[in-house]
Structures are given as C-alpha cells and as structure tokens.
Homo-oligomer: A and B are copies of this chain.
C-alpha cells in the first residue's frame, strides 16, 4: 500500500470493515487511543437506558434476582473467558485492575508460603505499568514480612532476574509504553522451572491479541475491559485464577460478595467455593452491564481476524511513518517482529507531548506517555487502512510545519 487508493482498496477487502458500524464514532476524528479508552458500541446507550429505567427504576431491589445482577460478574466472566482461553467458571468481571492485582498477588504469596516459605522476591519490570508496581509496593509495605520488589530492566534482563528467590512474577503481557509483548507460555515455563508463580496483567491484551491462559499454563491473570474491549470509561476489570489454585486462593479483600453464603449474615468470613471468592463488595451495575456491549462485538469478530488486521495495520503504520516522516527525530519504540508486538505502535520524539497535542487538535487522537512516547493504538474493529494513511499524512504535516511548536501545545493538561 503506497498511496491512499491502495488503502481504500484494502478497506474494501477487509472482512472486519463492517464492524465499524457497530460503534458511534465522533465525526472528524481518527481515533488511535483505543488502547487507553475504547469507543462507544451503538448498543450501549440502549442497554444503559434499560438498566436504569427497567432494572433500577422499575425492578428496584428485586433486580438482584430478576435482572440477574448477582450473577452478572460471573456471566460476563464466562463470556470474556472465551476470548482468553479460560473455561466457564474461571473468570469474573469485578473491581479494578489494581485491586485484582492486590488480590491475586496476596493469594499467590500465601500459596508460596507453603511451597517455598523463604522466598521474598516479587519480580516485575521497571517499565511495567506503574499501578502494577504501586500495588506491589502497597502490599509489601503492609505485610512487613521482608518481601522485596525486583525490577528487570536493560541492566538486568528478565531471564537473569528470574531465580530461585522469586516467589511471584508479575508482568504485563503487552507493555503499555512500547507495545512489546511477552511470550506468555515461554515466560511462564521459565518461571515455573524456578518454582515461581505467574501473574499476568492483560490490560493491553484482552480483545487485542490472542491469549490462551490455559495453554500457557499461567497461574493468575487480571486485566481491564475499557480498552480494546470497549466497555466504557472505568468499566470493571477482571480476574482469572487457574483451576488448580482456586481452592487455595485466599485473598484479603474479603467482602460480602465473596462469601460462600452471603445472605446468612454470618459473622465469620467463609470464601465461596468458586470464582465468587475473587470478589469483594457491591459492583457498579450500570457500568458493569455496559461491558457486555463491547464484549459481544469482540466475541463475534473473533481474536484471530482482529490480530491479523492489527499486525497488518502495525506493519503499514511503521513503514509509512518511516517513509514519510523520515527526516524527523522519530524513533520506533515498538518491536517489528509480529510475535513480540501487541496492538499499538509507539515512537519517541523529543517534543512528544507537544506533537501529540498538535495531532489531537487536528483530530488524530493518540496519547502521550512519559518519557517522550507518542502512542498510537490500532483497533481493527473500527480503524481502517485509509484512516491510517490519513493519520500519517497529518503526522507528517505536523512535523514538517512544526505545528507542535506552540505554547498551547506545550501546556500540560491535568491528565496527559
């Protein structure tokens, strides 16, 4: 594809092209930030109206039974599990990614206390998403049991950092900044060979890249539903636990919804037999219900077709930016190799923040991450080849004209 016409032709051949109609996209926008917040499924407004007017307004408290509120986290979990190589009854949609990391990590450390009681290292990566590291720190500080976080980085590669002092390995499957993807099965095997358990953060994977938790032999996974799954702003997250760990899974955020018989109103906590034990308190039903709208589209499209187009978009984006913006100080931060790439592409630019603001002002919405990173999400369900061509043309224009070099684009927003 070397001109816009080629891209238009590719869109015409694209078996996923028709999914764009399932979403309400704003006019005049080329949206390349679906890796941060997904777009609005056309069914969401109607579903919200139904939950609000019928289930809440009319059903009121009866909807816990009649509208299936009590079963909703598990029912959505079963659907989502189908995208991630999990069986029914293994995954639940609840709380936030941060909280689910806390639960899974605490449970994993407890399991390791029996298996390898002296291990005190939680291994992650320096460039993992900060909240993952913050949750580790919060748990370590709380426990005061000598746990330490070890961070793999350029000086200490992951394989080298992984040794027999490691209790748990916490990794993002796809890196939020670079878009680099781990080989989940290979890393899990390495970890298991050392006696470590694995906790995978699938925030940038779910709905974007093929994931098979069972085949990879993973131990625990968490992730979010508001990025590639288009669940809505801050929609509840998910947690998965491998079947062999369920019985030993003890998590400290032991609220009423995780109780075996919550309506006995017993004073002693007794964890539910199954996945409800990963839950804690009451869930925000309107936001939770909306998760299903995006999820149904993802299930219909299938991960394989999405992945194929995502890689084709990524290859094209890298090639076009390098060809058409070659004279500018852009440095590719994302692996080219398909097996190592997620579904966004990042470039470093010394004035990355201002460049992104100038792009957004022209309707190309990506985002900026410290330091210097321009992130461009590739979302095959609603982003096409001609969209990509147009976005690169606008990037070229912004760079060629130095349109970014204005005070208003250098002024930081509260949320970047």
Residues of chain A at the chain B interface (Cβ within 8 Å): 24, 26, 29, 31, 33, 36-37, 39-40, 44-45, 48-49, 51-53, 55-65, 69-71, 95-99, 102, 106, 126, 130-131, 133-135, 137-139, 141-145, 151, 177, 224, 226, 232-237, 250-256, 258-259, 262-269, 280-288, 290, 360, 365, 367, 369-370, 413-416
Contacts and interface: CB of A to CB of B under 8 A. Distances in A.
Contacts of A134: 254-256, 258-259, 269
21 contacts: A29-B60, A31-B60, A33-B61, A39-B57, A48-B49, A52-B290, A55-B233, A60-B365, A96-B281, A98-B256, A133-B268, A137-B254, A138-B252, A138-B254, A224-B282, A234-B288, A236-B284, A265-B369, A284-B288, A286-B286, A287-B287
B24 A416 contact: no
A151 B267 CA distance: 10
A99 B281 contact: yes
Contacts of A40: 52-53, 56-57
Contacts of A45: 49, 52-53
A179 to B, nearest CB: 15
A253 B60 contact: no
A68 to B, nearest CB: 9
B53 A131 contact: no
Given A130-B266, A135-B255, A365-B62, A99 B99 contact: yes
Contact of A252 (B26, B59, B139, B369): B139
A65 B415 contact: yes
A65 B52 CA distance: 26
A141 B49 contact: no
Q: Which residue of A62, A130, A268, A360 has the most chain B CB atoms within 10 A of its CB atom?
A: A130
Given A52-B48, A53-B45, A287-B285, A96 B255 contact: yes
A351 B414 CA distance: 57
Question: Which 5 pairs, one residue from A and one from B, show the smallest C-beta to C-beta distance?
Answer: A96-B281, A284-B287, A98-B281, A98-B255, A138-B254
Contacts of A31: 60
A365 B53 CA distance: 18
Contact of A282 (B71, B234, B253, B285): B234
Given A45-B52, A63-B233, A255-B135, A415 B263 contact: yes
Nearest to A40: B57
B24 A99 contact: no
A130 B265 contact: yes
A253 B39 contact: no
Contact of A126 (B51, B258, B267, B290): B267
A114 to B, nearest CB: 14
Contacts of A99: 95, 99, 253, 255, 280-281
B234 A284 contact: yes
Contacts of A142: 106, 142-143, 252
Q: Which residue of A55, A69, A99, A134 has the most chain B CB atoms within 10 A of its CB atom?
A: A134
Given A232-B56, A235-B284, A369-B265, A255 B414 contact: no
Contacts of A267: 126, 130, 133, 151
Contacts of A252: 102, 138-139, 141-142
A254 to B, nearest CB: 4
Given A69-B233, A286-B290, A254 B135 contact: yes
